């Protein structure tokens, strides 16, 4: 568990990692990556958290899924990354297929969160994963971002053993359904010198990674270092921005995050996976959400060349 001092240290580290954003104005992705790499691109989806955040505690934004598709289509987002509650309804596949066809916008994957370290819940989680992954496959989705659950403290070695045992079974379910699993981090996996993440990697060395670059920052981890260290295993990314005071921006590109340095690091490790923009609001947005998505998508094109 983080102490107040650790939290303060993490914030100071985060500020240092973000400080280079003033370079953005003179950044030329064509000079950095080359024209052919820009044209090849990386598919960019949108994660629907900003809509789901209106529906606590289960975060199920199914009632406004059509707005998600409308906003993403308007903004030039190339795919929708779901959350597992959207895929649990009995009519989920038929309902979402209609939206895919209507807006010509694919579902590319889903995120999934569960207490993987808790053996008492593992059978329930595994059966739930089987349902979600099978439905994701029926919708044509191919990425499954796994959050292993926050114990609100440092996990023990037996808990990390249990977590890895369940992850191995989940990987088999994903392989069966032609879905690529990845470890999607929040802060709890990467604080305490990456205790949780390293615990998993020690037990499943080749597991694919899907880091959230902003959660890395908030966990006191330099995203450039992370990309350089684990780049060969990274198949997915979440992109989100924040201000100097730690609050999230409305759109990517409005904060102080040093995205050009991250873009250069991804080029260095020859990243060829997928990416998703994820918006989160600390305060009610000033702009229509679809405009925040469009501004974010345009910024990712400008800086990452995707």
CA distances from 94 to 88, 105, 130, 255 (A): 12, 15, 18, 39
Cβ burial, residue 218 (10 Å; 0-12/13-18/19+): buried
Q: Domain ranges in the chain?
A: 4-304
Q: How far apart are CA 9 and CA 54, in angstroms?
A: 31
Strands 143-147 and 44-47: unpaired
For residue 152, the tally of other CB atoms under 10 A from its CB is: 7
Q: Residues 6 or more apart from 64 whose CB is under 8 A from it? A: 51, 54
Q: Residues 6 or more apart from 114 whose CB is under 8 A from it? A: 121, 125, 128, 129, 147, 148, 149
Spell out the per-residue pLDDT of the chain, length 306, in tens.
333 334 434 444 454 455 444 333 333 333 433 333 344 579 999 999 999 999 999 999 999 999 999 999 999 999 999 999 999 999 999 999 999 999 999 999 999 999 999 999 999 999 999 999 999 999 999 999 999 999 999 999 999 999 999 999 999 999 999 999 999 999 999 999 999 999 999 999 999 999 999 999 999 999 999 999 999 999 999 999 999 999 999 999 999 999 999 999 999 999 999 999 999 999 999 999 999 999 999 999 999 999
> So what's the architecture of 4-304 in CATH?
Alpha-Beta Barrel (3.20)
Checking 121-130 for CB contacts under 8 A at 24+ apart, the result is 122/162, 122/165, 122/166, 125/166, 126/166, 126/169, 126/170, 126/173, 128/84, 128/88, 129/170, 129/173, 130/173
Of 222, 298, 306, nearest to 271 by C-alpha is 306
Q: Residues 6 or more apart from 93 whose CB is under 8 A from it? A: 135, 138, 139
């Amino acid at each position: 568990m983080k102490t107040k001092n650790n939290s303060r240290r993490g914030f100071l580290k985060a500020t240092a990692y973000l400080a280079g954003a003033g370079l953005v104005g003179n950044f030329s992705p064509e000079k950095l990556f080359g024209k052919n790499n820009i044209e090849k691109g990386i598919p960019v989806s949108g994660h629907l958290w900003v809509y789901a955040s209106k529906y606590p505690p289960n975060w199920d934004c199914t009632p406004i899924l059509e707005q998600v598709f409308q906003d993403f289509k308007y903004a030039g987002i190339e795919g929708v990354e779901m959350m597992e509650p959207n895929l649990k309804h009995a009519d989920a596949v038929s309902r979402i297929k209609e939206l895919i066809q209507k807006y010509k916008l694919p579902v590319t994957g889903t995120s999934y969160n569960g207490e993987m370290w808790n053996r008492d819940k593992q059978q329930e989680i595994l059966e739930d994963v089987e349902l979600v992954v099978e439905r994701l496959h029926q919708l044509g989705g191919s990425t499954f971002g796994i959050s292993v659950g926050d114990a609100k403290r440092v996990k023990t070695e037996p808990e990390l053993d249990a977590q890895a045992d369940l992850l191995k079974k989940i990987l088999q379910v994903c392989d069966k359904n032609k879905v690529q699993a990845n470890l999607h981090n929040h802060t709890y996996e990467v604080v305490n010198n990456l205790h949780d993440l390293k615990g998993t990697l020690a037990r499943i060395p080749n597991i694919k990674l899907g880091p959230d670059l902003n959660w890395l920052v908030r966990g006191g981890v330099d995203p450039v270092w992370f990309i350089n260290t684990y780049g060969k295993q990274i198949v997915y990314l979440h992109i989100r921005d924040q201000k100097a005071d730690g609050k999230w921006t409305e759109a990517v590109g409005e904060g102080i995050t040093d995205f050009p340095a991250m873009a250069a690091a991804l080029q260095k490790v020859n990243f060829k996976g997928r990416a998703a923009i994820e918006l989160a609001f600390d305060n009610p947005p000033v702009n229509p959400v679809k405009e925040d998505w469009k501004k974010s998508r345009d910024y990712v094109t400008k800086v990452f060349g995707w």
